[in-house]
Chains A and B, each alone.
Chain A
């Protein structure tokens, strides 16, 4: 009975998470304000599920990811992983959880220690968690590299001897070696060329299938997220403004911001009709606009939008799991099909 209850629980559950950074000024480093990088985010990921997180530069995607894996300290909120309360767990429990929760970064250059060999890099975590004996290091490294399509002759080489795509494979091997249940991929292919990007995305999908992995897949590229994710969450200025099945969010976006993103994304073969060009820039995360944070750039904003902060709510279309934070979500014409 107990196990069936556990099964129905999400693998990761984030509740009302806030991560603010103080803006420090002067010799006494007085906080003169707060950057509200993540400002009240709730989301969940089920075992084996891939959730895509999109949004523009500075909206808080990386901060959210870094908070979940413990690299930033949250200002407020809860994070449950594998049934554990990560913010209140003991150091020991945390260490064990950490192993099942891995992260891959955008920049395969700076996330690999240049002084370690590939063998050391790939098995570092396994040894630290006591999952293998030092003598088994070589065999473990060979197996981990094979999973990502690299040969054993990579073992004694250093990161700088590899191309960007190969370095990203090394990062993936390093994360996968620990047999995680959830891998957070923060812009894993943004620095890669088109042909290599396809190779890495295929690899990530193969590994997910083989090991029943869950992904939190972060990208500012809607097409990449569409390819990788079952569900998508759209972030704007520290908040989630829309979430739902990938096909629904990208084909029938409910939030004006998502519509603008979809419209502005250049995609080959799509009719070159008039694009919805948003005016202005993303406002500062230290002074988010009142009401709906998107209202100053929104072509559909009314007076109410400047006053009332909309919550994530279901659409009248009643597509399961599709929720949108917009007062006018059910009044707007459906956006034209792609």
Chain B
């Protein structure tokens, strides 16, 4: 079923299972996400909550045969990517969907020069001579602010720093002008001044109408970059909201806990509020609401019943039985 033309990516009820030594584990459960054209949508959550698995599912890059999608649909430009034939999928992936990961090294060939890899990408999707493709490659290396682009054209990946490689990856992503960029922790391994350069390039892509799924655990990056945000906890989406609503009036106690633990550059509070306990690992998820053992407001129902995502108005939804009472109130008191 085609979706409304303004929606670029529509993930519906995605579930992913991994076969492990401890048996089959559902690590992503019933995740739905929607990216309008040119929007930056953030996916945030602590380690192991399922952010990367969600992204890899969209690209159909889950490690086979251990990982597989057990339910859901992923609509992109009018087709369900989960049912697209492999050769067509490869074309979509190269041309319409670009990706950058935390480790850019793994996405580049160690044997070929940066210039050849960029030029090859260009020639694969646009008809151009070798010389034209090389000129195009140089143009994009310059656009992303790589120091000494002429020299770097003939460098191999191991000769560049992580921040330089990430700029090469963005050059590769930008040159084809994709409809969707999936960026999984693109700046996590980088310094803040280099991160600022990368975020700037992603903003330029957004201005050219590319939608971006930005995965990060850094709430500061989410605040700076995103239009809307989905918060994941233990394999499920627990809240989705426009960015300002999320930060000003979080509707899920977990989101609230995360925001309370955020540090600012202003005068420090003497004590940080923390979330007691720790994130459960897949296979040991508690019944009912998966956050209930750490939630200060949990009551009997939370321990047995799974709270569905409830709409609380203004595009905000949270998977909490108390969501309605939470919304619009940023004070620390229970409803």
Chain A residues packing against B (C-beta within 8 Å)? 56-57, 163, 165-166, 193-199, 201-202, 205, 220-224, 226-227, 247, 250-251, 260-270, 272, 275, 277-282, 338
25 contacts between A and B (CB under 8 A): A193-B279, A194-B46, A194-B219, A195-B46, A195-B257, A198-B260, A198-B261, A199-B274, A201-B272, A202-B271, A221-B263, A223-B220, A223-B263, A224-B263, A226-B264, A226-B266, A227-B268, A261-B193, A264-B193, A265-B192, A266-B221, A269-B264, A275-B200, A280-B147, A282-B191
Chain A residues whose C-beta falls within 8 Å of the C-beta of B199 in the assembled complex: 266
B33 at the interface (CB under 8 A from A): no
* Other-chain contact of A198, B161, B193, B221, B274 (Cβ < 8 Å): B274
B34 at the interface (CB under 8 A from A): no
Chain B residues packing against A (C-beta within 8 Å)? 46-47, 145, 147, 161, 163-164, 191-197, 199-200, 217-225, 247, 257-268, 270-275, 278-279
**Are A195 and B224 in contact, with the CB atoms below 8 A?**
no
**Are B264 and A223 in contact, with the CB atoms below 8 A?**
yes
- State in angstroms the CA–CA spacing of A39 and B46 once bound together: 38
**Are B268 and A57 in contact, with the CB atoms below 8 A?**
no
Contact flag A56-B192 (CB < 8 Å), given A193-B47, A227-B268, A281-B147? yes
- State in angstroms the CA–CA spacing of A330 and B192 once bound together: 26
- In the assembled complex, how far is the CB of residue A189 from the closest CB belonging to chain B, in whole angstroms? 10
Chain A residues whose C-beta falls within 8 Å of the C-beta of B223 in the assembled complex: 266-270, 272
Top-8 shortest CB links A-B: A266-B220, A223-B263, A198-B274, A198-B261, A195-B275, A264-B196, A193-B46, A56-B191
* Other-chain contact of A165, B145, B163, B218, B278 (Cβ < 8 Å): B278
Contact flag A194-B262 (CB < 8 Å), given A268-B219, A282-B191? yes
- State in angstroms the CA–CA spacing of A278 and B279 once bound together: 37
Chain A residues whose C-beta falls within 8 Å of the C-beta of B192 in the assembled complex: 56, 220, 222, 261, 264-266
- In the assembled complex, how far is the CB of residue B265 from the closest CB belonging to chain A, in whole angstroms? 5
- Extra 13 A-B pairs, beta carbons < 8 Å, given A195-B261, A195-B274, A264-B196: A56-B191, A57-B191, A194-B219, A195-B275, A195-B278, A198-B272, A227-B263, A264-B195, A265-B265, A266-B221, A267-B223, A268-B219, A270-B223
Chain B residues whose C-beta falls within 8 Å of the C-beta of A282 in the assembled complex: 191
- In the assembled complex, how far is the CB of residue A274 from the closest CB belonging to chain B, in whole angstroms? 10
Chain B residues whose C-beta falls within 8 Å of the C-beta of A196 in the assembled complex: 274, 278
- State in angstroms the CA–CA spacing of A250 and B279 once bound together: 32
The closest CB in chain A to the CB of B281 belongs to A163
- State in angstroms the CA–CA spacing of A269 and B222 once bound together: 11
Chain B residues whose C-beta falls within 8 Å of the C-beta of A275 in the assembled complex: 196, 200
- Which of A199, A222, A260 counts the most B-chain CB atoms under 10 A from its CB? A199
